[in-house]
Structures are given as C-alpha cells and as structure tokens.
Amino acid sequence: DAKTTQPPSMDCAEGRAANLPCNHSTISGNEYVYWYRQIHSQGPQYIIHGLKNNETNEMASLIITEDRKSSTLILPHATLRDTAVYYCIVRVFSGSARQLTFGSGTQLTVLP
Amino acid sequence: DSGVTQTPKHLITATGQRVTLRCSPRSGDLSVYWYQQSLDQGLQFLIQYYNGEERAKGNILERFSAQQFPDLHSELNLSSLELGDSALYFCASSSTGGAGQPQHFGDGTRLSIL
C-alpha cells in the first residue's frame, strides 16, 4: 500500500470548515483513499473513502486531486466533538483482503 | 454506534496469565480484523478472519491466537502475558474480505498487565 503523509497537528475554529490534507504521491491506480478518525482512545471511526472522484456523505467531503497524489478531507462546520486524530489511509481495492495500515495521523483540535 | 461489540471493555490481569477477548461483528459482516494499539506503536494489524478461515496475518506474536466461530463472532486469545502486552485491542468487521469495503471498529478492550 502507498504511504501517506499528513501534518501532525492542526487547529480549527468551531463552526469553520476544517480542511485536512494528505499526500499520497506513490498511490497506484488500484488504490482507494480512506479516512478514519479516532476520538480519545475510542475505536477508529470510518468517515469516507474514494477512488478518483470527489465524494460527500453526511460527515464530510473528500476531494482527490486529478493526479490522485493528494487529497483533502473537509469537515464543513467543525464542532468541538470533531476533535480527534484523523488518519488518511491508502489501500488496494482489488485482489485479496487487506488490512488497514495506520500512520501517525493528524491531531485536529477544534477551538471554541 | 458502529455495530461491532467487544467484551470486556477493561481487563486487568497479571504477567504470565491468559485472557480471551471477544468480538461480535456487525450483522451480516463476514470478515473480522484484530488490531493492537499501544502507546509507542500506534495501531497495528494482528490478524484477519473471513467466514471462519484465517485470511491474513500481521505482526501477531506466537503467544497470541484467534479464531472465528460459525456464528461469526471472533475471539483473540493472549497467553503468557507480558507487561508489554498492555494495550487497547480493537476488533473491526467488514461485509466481505474485499479491500474495497470499509472496516467498522468496535470500542476496544483495554488490557492492563500488572
């Protein structure tokens, strides 16, 4: 699986959009981008995933660049409950089952 | 609520002992994954089962073993426990073993070795 690079920490004001970047310059054509978050030692929570098109669900939007070498997770209106470690993970979508490989993630702190 | 249930939530035991952690996957999910999270190692994949059979193995110690039962629940057995085994143990499930399916995690079991 391709490696990802994320900033170790970010702050965001409550009510503003939080934009979390992820670099995955070695991504292959058969790899998805997944985003998870972990709130204070709870189980990681699935947020969203995508292949090449932008994706949106009730939690967030995922913007993937045309060359797929980077992506941005957008939380449109951050709340204090969004404070968490956010993990960007790249993983193949075909072939045999694969586990998730977690890096260090980005600690997002939403400030009141 | 992810739908993945792990028991117990907390476990305190001594070195040399053996414990069993239990995981019930989301309804309909056939694949179960086990992960370990310690302070200095982050989240590490241990092992995966799909419909009762071992599918993939990660950095799982020989002292650790797992199985998935016909009702699809899974158990992780840890034996000859050492202080360094103190960690959070998470179970995740997905509908198939396919890599395209997102995994959904339980709230974990916190294991403390005294």
b vs e for B72-92, b when ≥16 Cβ sit within 10 Å of the residue's Cβ?
bebbbebeebeeebbbbbbbb
d(CA B51, CA B29) in angstroms, rounded, equals 9
Interchain proximity B31–A97, CB inside 8 Å: yes
Q: Which of A43, A98, A103 sits opposite B107 (nearest CB)?
A: A43
Output B40 or B49, whichever has higher pLDDT.
Answer: B49
User: How high is the pLDDT of residue B59?
Assistant: 84
Q: What one-character DSSP code corresponds to residue A43?
A: P
Q: Which of B96, B100, B106 sits opposite A43 (nearest CB)?
A: B106
Output B30 or B98, whichever has higher pLDDT.
Answer: B30
Interchain proximity B99–A92, CB inside 8 Å: yes
Note the residue count of chain B.
114
d(CA B68, CA A93) in angstroms, rounded, equals 24
d(CA B56, CA B67) in angstroms, rounded, equals 12
pLDDT means per 10 residues, chain A with 112 residues, are 89 97 91 93 93 93 96 97 95 66 93 96
Hey, CA dihedral for B55, B49, B111, B21, is it positive or negative?
negative
User: How high is the pLDDT of residue B26?
Assistant: 96
Contact B23, B74 (CB under 8 A): yes
Q: Provide, as residue numbers in chain B, all residues whose Cβ is less than 8 Å from the Cβ of A92.
A: 99
User: How high is the pLDDT of residue A96?
Assistant: 54
Distance in Å, alpha carbon of A29 to nearest chain B alpha carbon: 13
Q: Which of B4, B37, B99 sits opposite A97 (nearest CB)?
A: B99
- Counting residues of chain B whose pLDDT is more than 70, the rounded percentage is 96
User: How high is the pLDDT of residue B2?
Assistant: 87
Contact B113, B14 (CB under 8 A): yes
- Per-residue confidence band for B16, with pLDDT thresholds at 50, 70 and 90: very high
Return the half-sphere exposure (C-beta side, CA atoms, 13 A cut-off) of residue A102. Answer: 24
CB pairs under 8 A between A and B: 70
Q: How many CB atoms lie within 10 A of CB B62?
A: 7
User: How high is the pLDDT of residue A91?
Assistant: 81
B94: phi then psi, degrees, rounded to nearest 5:
-140, 165
pLDDT in tens, B49-92: 999 999 889 989 999 999 999 999 999 999 999 999 999 999 99
Residues paired with A92 in a beta bridge: A31
Q: Average pLDDT in the B101-106 region?
A: 91
Interchain proximity B45–A95, CB inside 8 Å: no
User: How high is the pLDDT of residue A95?
Assistant: 53
Output B114 or B41, whichever has higher pLDDT.
Answer: B114
